[in-house]
Amino acid sequence: MSTPPRERTLEGLCLKATPLGEQDRLLLLLTEEEGLLKLAASGARKPRSSLAAAGALTLIKAQVARGRSLDRLRQAQVIRSYSRLGEQLELLAAGQWLLELARLLIAEAEPLPGALALLLHRLGQLEELRSAPAEVQRLEALATAVQGGVQLLQLAGLGLPMNTDLNGGGDLVPPIGNWEWRCSLLPADGFCSGRQSGAVLMLNASELALLQRLLRPQLPRKRDGELMGPERVWLHLQELLQIWCREHLGRSPKALTLLRQDWPASAQRQNG
């Protein structure tokens, strides 16, 4: 990528904000033009600083000056803040899980077209859940994170090969209604029909069918608007994504780890 100009204006989502020195802040922005961008925000930790509002989960219009080792944020206008997700732990965990995944997938100065728009869309969906009943909120947040994760991996060229059967290379078509059928996940390669040695996780036909629908724009729903799939199935799909990320990225996002300790128990009570 060519050297950026001395001064430029960018729109970006702050994925992470950490202290830098005594009064400054280090920001990690996701931009459409430049991919991930690290910025030093001088004095941003001062209460009256004009840069104080530039923190994690905010979409900002940034005036950036090129520096020797680190670019600097000169001015910031907050376009939209998603910080109120922090009022509900499930929503915050789902949002942070997606931001973590983006940090793993996208390199500095290497744009990933469509990633910023996808993240903003998913964060907006999570915000809309703030007034939902607790059980609905938890399930919808989990499903939003899973679908967003599937789509981010696809954008980055690391998508799950969920439509191809490693047994022969044909289409992987789940036989809905056959409760004995299974397909196996081989983390390095993809999916095989049947129970395979070396598999770390298996899906039944309904779970695979649900996974295959997650590349569509909207979450899969029944005619009455209720989300398809019980909570335990969405947890199973999220576990699959964690395994896939560890295999292909070396590590996986951690934001949902603590919440999973409670989710399986509640899912068993509701669906067991």
Domain assignments of the chain as residue spans, ordered by start: 7-81, 84-271
Report domain 7-81's class.
mainly beta
167 contact partners, CB below 8 Å, separation of at least 6: 192, 193, 194
CATH topology match: 7-81 vs 84-271: no
pLDDT band at residue 3, thresholds of 50, 70 and 90?
A: confident
Q: Are 59 and 21 in contact (CB under 8 A)?
A: no
| pLDDT number for residue 266 | 46
Q: C-alpha distances in angstroms, 81 versus 19, 44, 121, 233, 241?
A: 19, 16, 13, 31, 27
Residue 178 CB neighbour total at 10 angstroms: 11
The answer to whether residue 248 scores a pLDDT higher than 50 is: yes
Mean predicted lDDT score pLDDT of the chain: 91
Buried b (16+ CB within 10 A) or exposed e, 69-105: eebebbebeeeebbeebeebebbbbbbbbbbbbbebb
Location of structure tokens 């430029």: 8
d(C-alpha 102, C-alpha 210), whole Å: 23
The answer to whether residue 263 scores a pLDDT higher than 70 is: no
| pLDDT number for residue 127 | 97
At 81-110, the pLDDT tens digits run: 999 999 999 999 999 999 999 999 999 889
The answer to whether residue 260 scores a pLDDT higher than 80 is: no
At 183-208, the pLDDT tens digits run: 999 999 999 999 998 899 999 999 99
| pLDDT number for residue 261 | 60
The first and second tokens of residue 156, run together, are: 């980055």
Q: Does domain 84-271 have CATH number 1.20.1440.120?
A: yes
Residue 158 CB neighbour total at 10 angstroms: 15
The answer to whether residue 35 scores a pLDDT higher than 90 is: yes
pLDDT band at residue 54, thresholds of 50, 70 and 90?
A: confident
pLDDT band at residue 262, thresholds of 50, 70 and 90?
A: low
Q: C-alpha distances in angstroms, 177 versus 170, 174, 180?
A: 21, 9, 9
At 141-185, the pLDDT tens digits run: 999 999 999 999 999 999 999 999 998 889 999 999 999 999 999
* pLDDT top residue among 46 and 182: 182
d(C-alpha 25, C-alpha 101), whole Å: 22
The answer to whether residue 23 scores a pLDDT higher than 80 is: yes
Q: Are 31 and 118 in contact (CB under 8 A)?
A: no
The answer to whether residue 268 scores a pLDDT higher than 60 is: no
Share of the chain above pLDDT 70, in %: 94
The answer to whether residue 271 scores a pLDDT higher than 50 is: no
| pLDDT number for residue 269 | 42
Q: Are 50 and 75 in contact (CB under 8 A)?
A: yes
